[in-house]
Amino acid sequence: MTQQPGGMGAGAARAAMAGDASAQHGAGLELITEAPERAMVIFAHPDDAEIGAGATVAKWARAGCEITYVQCTTGSSGSNDRSMTTAAIVPIRAAEQKAAADTIGVKSIEVLDHQDGWLDPDRVFLEELVRVIRRHRPDVVFAHDPERYSGFNHRDHRAVGITAKDAIYPYARDHLHFPDQITAEGLETWKVKHLFMWGTDQPDVIVDVTDSLEIKVEALFKHESQIGGLATNTDAATRLRTRAKDAAAGYEFEYAETFRRLTARR
Ligand SMILES: [Zn+2]
């Protein structure tokens, strides 16, 4: 688990400032109730997708949304065990990510095979993200917020956020960017409608995940090499529930995930 999502405590703070009225009218974030036809989650390391958007994506998958995961690195540095090697951890994390994705209800996983800690927002990575967007044609893309100022933000997370944002606009949309994908690979341009970013300082949308939070907890615990194979009734699960409850403070539901949303102009 490289990083916790941001916004912890923000819901409670907003609710406290808004007073009792917030319980009736919410705490100012736009409530997202509709699931799109197709969504994509672009993330740096195995487990980031579940931490960032697991409950929302599980909810949307159960509403019929087709979900694609784009795992950008192999997670090859993700171990605190001094006896663990890069060669040994990669297949472990791949299997864990597959199990977590199955739990969430993800239809396909694209693994870009970059080394953990080595992601750069360069043209090679940009071209890869443009290709997966043009291939899967998602209405909504989820990714790390690259512009978070509070706390440390992993270099790979920043690289994914910046590059996903660029890939959506304007590169995937315009036919003269990476034109070989269109002329030689048979792909077409694609307009993503919304980018939802997790781990953000400035959430502006909220999703009621009361009915899917336990799926997120279950999926996260598939990453046994990161969590230590703990059962779902442990402190880590309690922390997840507390964070989701905090995000929902001031709203008429128990658990929430929040995001910063960018919407493409029509
Ligand atoms: Zn990560």
Q: pLDDT tens across 254-263, in order? A: 999 999 999 9
Contact 56, 257 (CB under 8 A): yes
Q: For residue 2, is it within any domain?
A: no
Q: For residue 1, is it within any domain?
A: no
- d(CA 186, ligand 1 centre) in Å: 32
The pLDDT of residue 4 is above 50: no
pLDDT at site 132: 98
Q: For residue 57, is it within any domain?
A: yes
The pLDDT of residue 57 is above 70: yes
Between 54-58, 67-71, 89-93, 229-233, the lowest mean confidence (pLDDT) is in 229-233
- d(CA 19, ligand 1 centre) in Å: 35
Q: What is the mean pLDDT of residues 188-213?
A: 98
Handedness of CA 150, 155, 161, 165 (dihedral sign): positive
Three-state DSSP string of 225-248:
HHHCCCCCCCHHHHHHHHHHHHHC
Q: pLDDT tens across 93-122, in order? A: 999 999 999 999 998 999 998 999 999 999
CA distance 54 to 65: 14
Buried b (16+ CB within 10 A) or exposed e, 110-125: bbbebebbebebeeeb
Q: For residue 102, is it within any domain?
A: yes
First vs last Cα of the chain: how many Å apart? 37
Contact 202, 30 (CB under 8 A): no
Q: What is the mean pLDDT of residues 59-70?
A: 98
CA distance 191 to 239: 37
Task: Give SS3 for 118.
Answer: coil
Q: For residue 145, is it within any domain?
A: yes
32: left (phi over 0), alpha (psi -120 to 50) or beta: beta
Q: How confident is the model at residue 232 (pLDDT cuts 50, 70, 90)?
A: low
The pLDDT of residue 244 is above 90: yes
- pTM reported for the whole predicted model: 0.88
Question: Which protein residues have their CB within 5 A of the ion that is ligand 1?
Answer: 2, 44-45, 48
Q: How confident is the model at residue 226 (pLDDT cuts 50, 70, 90)?
A: confident
Identity at 56, one-letter amino acid code: T
- d(CA 47, ligand 1 centre) in Å: 7
pLDDT at site 228: 60
Q: Which residue has the tokens 């736009």?
A: 30
Between 13-17, 203-207, 214-218, the lowest mean confidence (pLDDT) is in 13-17
Contact 263, 127 (CB under 8 A): no
- d(CA 46, ligand 1 centre) in Å: 7
Q: For residue 3, is it within any domain?
A: no
What total number of domains does the chain contain? 1
The pLDDT of residue 58 is above 80: yes
pLDDT at site 26: 54
pLDDT at site 46: 94
Q: Domain of 206?
A: 10-20+32-263
pLDDT at site 15: 39
**pLDDT averaged over every residue in the chain:** 89
Q: For residue 115, is it within any domain?
A: yes
C-beta neighbour count of 9 within 10 angstroms: 12
The pLDDT of residue 83 is above 90: no
The CATH number of the domain holding residue 198 is: 3.40.50.10320
- d(CA 180, ligand 1 centre) in Å: 31
Contact 152, 141 (CB under 8 A): no
Between 127-131, 232-236, 255-259, the lowest mean confidence (pLDDT) is in 232-236
Q: For residue 214, is it within any domain?
A: yes
The pLDDT of residue 7 is above 90: no
Q: What is the mean pLDDT of residues 169-184?
A: 98
- d(CA 57, ligand 1 centre) in Å: 17
- d(CA 61, ligand 1 centre) in Å: 22
Q: pLDDT tens across 143-163, in order? A: 999 999 999 999 999 999 999
pLDDT at site 233: 54
